A = this chain, B = another copy of it.
Amino acid sequence: MNTAASSRPSGTGVQAASKAAGAPPSASRAPAFSPLYQQIKALISQSLQAGEWKSGNAIPSETELAARFQVSQGTVRKAIDELATENLLIRRQGKGTFVATHTEQQVQYRFLRLFPEQGDLGSQGPAQRQIVDCRRARASAQVARKLQLRTGDAVLQIQRVLSYADVPTILEDIWLPAGPFKGLDIGRLQAYPGPMYALFESEFGMRMVRAQEEIRAVLGDEEECKLLQTGPYVPLLSVERIAFTYNDMPMELRHGLYRTDRHHYRNELG
């Protein structure tokens, strides 16, 4: 803990320690100064994770939160600013601050970076989703490691094909821990009209917050090429994604094979 709040003129201040979620009460060493706004950020983050505010709904106003946490509006503001930068919250001037959701149109392309070779995103229409398979399985050592499970733990394995303008373009294998997604089956997957992450969010309360991808160039094998309706020896983009929910917890492993004859993977280097 620290004394960041000790400069407050009056005694109205809350004990700083009471705000620090899990802060060591003068621990043995290296208290690691953490500013007030970071503590507020952590508290808001916890409320988000606990589901205190629903996806797409507004959170309390800055003024309200400032009163609740007994800090100034500016401090709440800085906390919210960072959460908005991390795409956990969305600010809308004049309306309020909202819990980010995968249902919004704008968020669609935050995780899928495949763009048509020419023309804009709208020119080809939305993807057609076809679920090939959805079964329960046991996690291999590799899958378990990446999802932070134990080898042999129950997982759901989904295979699907995404097509654009009736051209099969993406073949995906998806692994999910069985526990958090209990009740998910091929029927529900086929019934849901929107993006898969929107389904995870609305039906399982599981919000994917960030992801990491490793990309390689590969040759599709026979079965893969068949599903993508290409000839043999076609070079494909292999995209392995680990998606994380709150607290940097890995919640999905996804292996995609992308045809890049009519599309490309786009990346911005800032």
Q: Say whether B237 contacts A267, CB under 8 Å.
A: no
Q: Mark A39-63, 1 if CB is under 8 A from B, else 0.
A: 0000000000000000000000000
Bound form: Cα–Cα A171–B111 in Å: 28
In the complex, chain B residues whose CB is within 8 Å of the CB of A270: 86-87, 110, 210
A35 within 8 Å of B by Cβ?
no
Q: With an 8 A cutoff between CB atoms, is A218 at the interface? A: yes
Q: Are B217 and A235 in contact (CB under 8 A)?
A: yes
Instruction: Identify the closest chain B residue to A264 (Cβ).
Output: B214
Provided the pairs A217-B235, A235-B217, A236-B217 are in contact, do residues A212 and B260 lie with their beta carbons within 8 angstroms? no
8 Å CB contacts to B: which residues of A109-157?
110-111, 113
Name 27 A/B residue pairs within 8 A (Cβ), A-sorted: A86-B270, A87-B270, A110-B269, A113-B267, A113-B269, A210-B268, A210-B269, A211-B269, A212-B266, A212-B269, A213-B267, A213-B268, A213-B269, A214-B264, A214-B265, A214-B267, A215-B237, A215-B264, A216-B264, A216-B265, A217-B235, A217-B260, A218-B235, A219-B235, A233-B233, A235-B236, A267-B267
Is the beta-carbon distance between A237 and B213 smaller than 8 angstroms? no
Contact B214 A217 (CB under 8 A): no
Q: Is the CB of B235 within 8 A of A265?
A: no
Determine if A269 and B111 form an interchain contact, defined as CB atoms under 8 angstroms apart.
Answer: yes
Expressed in whole angstroms, the minimum distance between the Cβ of A113 and any Cβ of chain B is 8
Q: What does the 1/0 interface line of A220-258 toward B look like (CB < 8 Å)?
A: 000000000000010111000100000000000000001
C-alpha gap A102/B159 in the complex (Å): 43
How many of A's residues come within 8 Å of B, CB to CB? 29
B217 touches A218 (CB 8 A): yes
Whole-angstrom distance between the alpha carbons of A40 and B237 in the complex?
A: 43
Q: Which of chain B's residues has its CB closest to A266's CB?
A: B214
Q: Which residue of A213, A264, A267, A270 has the most chain B CB atoms within 10 A of its CB atom? A: A267
Question: Is B215 in contact with A268, judged by CB distance below 8 angstroms?
Answer: no
A217 to B237, CA, bound (A): 5
Known: A111-B269, A210-B268. 13 other contacts (CB 8 A): A87-B270, A113-B269, A210-B269, A211-B268, A212-B268, A213-B269, A215-B264, A215-B265, A216-B264, A217-B218, A217-B237, A217-B258, A217-B260
Residues of B within 8 A of A213 (CB): 266-269
In the bound complex, CA of A212 to CA of B267 (Å): 6
* Residues in B whose Cβ lies below 8 Å from that of A267: 113, 212-215, 267
